[in-house]
Chains A and B, each alone.
Chain A
Amino acid sequence: MNKIQQLFKNKKNILSVYFTAGYPELNDTATIIKELEKNNADLIEVGIPFSDPLADGPTIQDSSSIALKNGINPNLVFKQIQSIKNQTNIPLIIMAYLNQMIAFGEDNFLEECKKSNIQALIIPDLPISEYKKKYKKMFEEYNLSNIFLITPQTSNERILEIDELSDTFIYMVSSNSVTGTKKDIDNAQIQYFERIKNMNLKNPTLIGFGISNNKTFTEACKYANGAIIGSAFIKKISEKGELKDKISNFIKEIKN
């Protein structure tokens, strides 16, 4: 059982936080991970910045381009994570686009993930068909889980296929949008959350996209095993002030 599977077994209302590696400053990665753990976040998604992040809204795009200007690259991200391997225990997920993994060399990329104690990957532009054809075997060799996304428009049939292919959790995109766009959860979304809940999938679910505060986090937790916050966290750490304080204030605010 991987660390994320254990987490879901033991805990409800899971808070997963996404951040862009190399942002706001090149070497903030270690601090952000340690502070998130210290403040009781449950799970962390480390985004490796990409020049053309198709699934991301303006907040994550901007943080990615600043991080790239700061000089971040995948080698450095892996080094930063490996440097605190013995100081942290919080489960980690890497988020990257497929082109980054291909350019790095897929085996090298997965090897580095393994060395960095990464539990799972989110590759938003890796289609199911390609995963089954080529990557499933590779990921399994390195004990890495693939996290699939579903959206309000994903058919039940496809959700069942994704459930079958998944072993850690399913990432429920809360509305049909890129990251960081919506503010409140509306009725159509609640209907979708209920529909998924009633499907009694074998995998737990986390709701992401548009989760930005205590209200939306609490609402999401009613229908799923927890929620993922990305853009709102990036916005928070972009503000003035000490990074550690901003992180602890943010988590307190979300968890209330």
Chain B
Amino acid sequence: MDKLINNDGFYGEFGGAYIPEMLYPNVKELQDNYIQIIESEDFAKEYKELLKNYVGRPTPLYYAKRLSEKYNTKIFLKREDLTHTGAHKINNTIGQILLAEKLGKKRIIAETGAGQHGVATATVCALKGLQCTVYMGEIDIKRQAPNVARMKMLGAEVIPASSGSRTLKDAVNEAIRAWINEPEDTYYLIGSVVGPHPYPDMVARLQAIISEEMKMQLKEQTGKENPNNIIACVGGGSNAAGAFFHYIKDKDVKLIAVEAAGKGINSGETAATTQIGTTGILHGSKTLLMQDEYGQVTEPYSISAGLDYPGIGPVHAYLFKDKRADFLNATDKEALDAAFELTELEGIIPALESAHALAALKKLNLKENETTIINLSGRGDKDLETYIKLL
């Protein structure tokens, strides 16, 4: 995946750094340093050490026997839900906090949707003793209360984003504005493969550990080099980027991204960006986004706060246009059904985001001899309030 991007941060026509001059020094500093730092021996050693002993990696690749029986195929789950803090988001925050440290930054700001990235950021800030401020949409603060409490206990300040749709998009706007206003020792820790170059590439590289492990684990367990399919949900697209990363070149592997259809892609209440989006600029990169005829960004909707985003990472816009990945979508209802199904068959309560990936099983008609890995990006504790209503 890192080979898809050019020196200016473009994946084909998507990506780049469309930022006001006020952000130029901050972004330039990162552009000039991120690869060198990430590829340094020092960094790699500490990153791998923390992923192992703090995060709990490698996460298991679990053969889901009863789920496989039900769909008459072979399904493996990549258990990102078992990481410390309960989602893949921590892979990225561990990496970026080390990078921030190397750049001498003292304060961290972040945005969060479902709160998973906020928690993962607050966690690594506690670990490193750095000051942490998290911007979160007012609406998300209400629907993800347990994560707000966790962030506060971890010492982070949670600032409500009260403009626009008051969800993830607006939290990103507020975080970017704060980054402009704050002094130079502030680092913006983005949680997905979105934002100006180098963030999409940097976050993808830090999530690549997911597919690095998948490759080894699948070989170990089945003798197979590659699965037939990899399925991951996409909001901004960081877990999908991590799950796809080392398979991009392997054309025999079908990459399947699942977006949140909300109440249906034509309902006006959706977050399925590739289905109704057009090319534009959001949060500093050129990508597909949901917008009206005048370029006003449309308010997205999904039951899942982590997928409730009107854009998509530029790398995914590229994979979509290039047809390297298939883009499906699942409605709120389909995701909820899939969450209950996994819980019943495997004793695993998935995050609502990951439930969208699981919902693809019903749409794919997988064959008996096919092997599929579903990236189970997070656990469902934070979504219990939603699930309880359906019990």
Contact = CB atoms under 8 A, between A and B. Distances in A.
A126 B18 contact: yes
A99 B19 contact: no
Interface residues of B, number: 33
Interface residues of A, number: 38
A8 to B, nearest CB: 21
B163 A176 contact: no
Contacts of B280: 99, 102-103
Given A52-B173, A181-B181, A124 B21 contact: yes
B164 A149 contact: no
B163 A65 contact: yes
A99 B291 CA distance: 10
B181 A177 contact: yes
Contact of B180 (A50, A127, A178): A178
Interface string B278-299: 1111111000000111111100
Contact of A104 (B18, B24, B295): B295
Nearest to A76: B294
B146 to A, nearest CB: 29
Given A177-B180, A178-B181, A99 B21 contact: no
Contact of B20 (A74, A125, A158): A125
Given A51-B164, A102-B280, A103-B295, A127 B173 contact: no
A153 interface: yes
Contacts of A68: 296
A177 B183 CA distance: 10
B19 to A, nearest CB: 6
A50 B295 CA distance: 8
Interface in B1-34: 8, 16-22, 24-25
Contact of B25 (A99, A127, A153, A177): A153
Interface in A88-130: 97-104, 124-127, 129-130
B203 interface: no
A158 B291 CA distance: 33
A102 B295 contact: yes
Given A73-B294, A102-B281, A103-B293, A154 B24 contact: yes
Given A125-B18, A127-B16, 19 more contacts: A50-B295, A54-B177, A54-B284, A55-B22, A65-B164, A68-B296, A97-B295, A98-B18, A102-B279, A102-B281, A103-B291, A124-B20, A124-B21, A127-B18, A129-B8, A130-B16, A154-B24, A176-B181, A177-B181
23 contacts: A54-B20, A54-B284, A55-B180, A74-B294, A99-B281, A100-B295, A102-B280, A103-B280, A104-B294, A124-B21, A125-B19, A125-B20, A148-B21, A149-B21, A149-B22, A151-B22, A151-B24, A153-B24, A154-B24, A176-B181, A177-B181, A178-B177, A181-B181
The 3 closest A-B pairs by CB, nearest first: A103-B295, A149-B21, A51-B296
